[in-house]
Amino acid sequence: MPLDLSPDQKSLQARARALASGPIAARAAEVDRSEQYPWDNVDLLKDAGLLGMTIPAQYGGQGKSWLDAVLVIEALSAACAVTGRIAVETNMGAISAVMAYGSQEQKRLAADLVLSGDKPAICITEPGAGSDANAMTTRADRRGNRFVVNGRKHWITGGGVSRLHLIFARVFDAQGNDEGIGGFLAIRDETPGLSIVRREPTMGLRGIPEAEIAFEDMELPPSALVVPPRGLKKGFADLMNAYNSQRVGAATVALGVAWGAYQLALDWSEKREQFGRPINEFQGLQWKLADMSIRLAASQALVYKAARSGEAGFPDMLMAAQAKIFTAEAAIQTVNDALQLFGARGYSRDLPLERMARDVRMFTIGGGTAEVLRTVVAGAILGKKLPQTRDGWQKRGDGRL
């Protein structure tokens, strides 16, 4: 689908598609079955220059745009959503927060890790703070010239394989006063106090672990704190602003999976005959295919627009949320319809449709649920703060919208 891509972008897209339809597609079923992180694919991405593309050239990257990353993620996800997600987190999210807000030392550390194949983990969600992320209780106490971090995160993508962790934590001064939220860098197996508690058993996306992570008296030097541009008081907002890049990335994975499923269904609808004719001669299926193509085109337009909105910084919060809600929901429906076109074969583990249906289900949950993101969209279009707590309106003072 052409959407004003430059010659360089078309060539990048073609390279990613070749990789996706070759070795990555060939391994996708095994990655799912074995539930093993696809280090072979990481090597392929590294060799093809697709890891850390958005890292500025001065730190060894290529300074590519969000849209460049989106083109690659979309192509990879059509064959293997797990590999698509690796491309997301090596180009967006935690790495982009560090590259935008970090010190020279932090940027060099993060860039070196990512360019050598590490997929950073972004640690926001806690057992008691999911949608209500701001209610996190993981704390970093200033003790002399150190921070001491204690708390627990769960559903952390890459837990147990990622080395670099960006940990959102509430910072307290020596008197116990809350200073706001900051992002701390810690490296698994190098930072004592960081431990992987357990792997979450997931429905799909099984080749990448989701894990519960504990921080127990984890001591960090001041140089581990990524100070958001407006300071800790606005730390949560600034870190979430950087996270908008990953929301676009998550939407892109959903788009890619749906695109892959649609292509399989289109092809099958011509090959499969019933009642003596290809099944795509039945109007009921023609309309299904038409709706799939419409949803894909609309999703792609939203995702590309959200990616382009970040040319001078991070993708816009509203556009990222709109793109993720629509694309995630549309992708679930498209993959389900594609599976339906295969009849019993679609339900079989011999074909990728059932894996795609399990994989794509995640995207209305992870990265901010579709419900919570609708509140983000509503707040932005209404130009109003929409507190979700019972006492939120009283705290505002006027009790009105």
Ligand X SMILES: Cc1cc2nc3c(=O)[nH]c(=O)nc-3n(C[C@H](O)[C@H](O)[C@H](O)COP(=O)(O)OP(=O)(O)OC[C@H]3O[C@@H](n4cnc5c(N)ncnc54)[C@H](O)[C@@H]3O)c2cc1C
Q: Read off the amino acid at residue 343.
A: G
Provide the mask over 245-264, with x wherever binding to ligand LLMBWK7S is found by CB under 6 A and - wherever it is not. -x---x--------------
Closest CA to 250 of 183, 326, 301: 326
Q: Which of ligand LLMBWK7S, ligand X, none is residue 210 near (CB under 5 to 8 Å by kind)?
A: ligand X
The entry of ligand X, ligand LLMBWK7S, none that residue 186 binds, CB within 5 to 8 Å by partner kind: none
Q: Binding residues for ligand X, per CB under 6 A?
A: 122-125, 130-131, 155-157, 202, 205, 210, 362, 365-369, 371-372, 375, 388
Q: Tell me: does residue 366 bind ligand LLMBWK7S (CB under 6 A).
A: yes
* SS3 assignment for 129-186: ECCCHHHCCCEEEEECCEEEEEEEEEEEECCCCCCEEEEEEEEECCCCCEEEEEEEEE
Residues in the chain: 401
Distance CA 164, CA 118 (A): 7
Nearer to ligand X, 69 or 250 (CB): 250
Least separation, in Å, of the C-beta of 143 and ligand LLMBWK7S? 28
Determine phi and psi for 213, rounding to 5 degrees.
Answer: -125, 135
CB 157 within 8 A of CB 210: yes
Of the candidates 243, 265, 263, the one whose C-alpha atom is nearest the C-alpha of residue 345 is 265
* Site membership for ligand LLMBWK7S, residue 309 (CB under 6 A): no
| Residue-wise burial string across 199-221, b where 16 or more C-beta atoms lie within 10 A, e elsewhere | eeebebbbbbbbbbbbbeebebe
- Whether the Cβ atoms of residue 193 and residue 215 lie closer than 8 Å to each other: yes
Q: What would the x/- binding string for ligand LLMBWK7S be over residues 367 to 396, using CB under 6 A?
A: xx---x---x--------x-xx--------
Query: Taking CB within 5 to 8 Å according to partner kind, which of ligand LLMBWK7S, ligand X, none is near residue 250?
Result: ligand LLMBWK7S
**The binder of ligand LLMBWK7S chosen from 81, 317, 319, 353 (CB under 6 A):** 317
**Which region among 18-26, 71-79, 120-128, 188-196 touches ligand LLMBWK7S (by CB under 6 A)?**
120-128
User: Structure tokens of 276?
Assistant: 């003596």
Q: What's the token pair of residue 11?
A: 């060539």
Contact positions vs ligand LLMBWK7S (CB under 6 A): 85, 122, 124-125, 131, 133-134, 157, 236-237, 240-241, 244, 246, 250, 317, 366-368, 372, 376, 385, 387-388
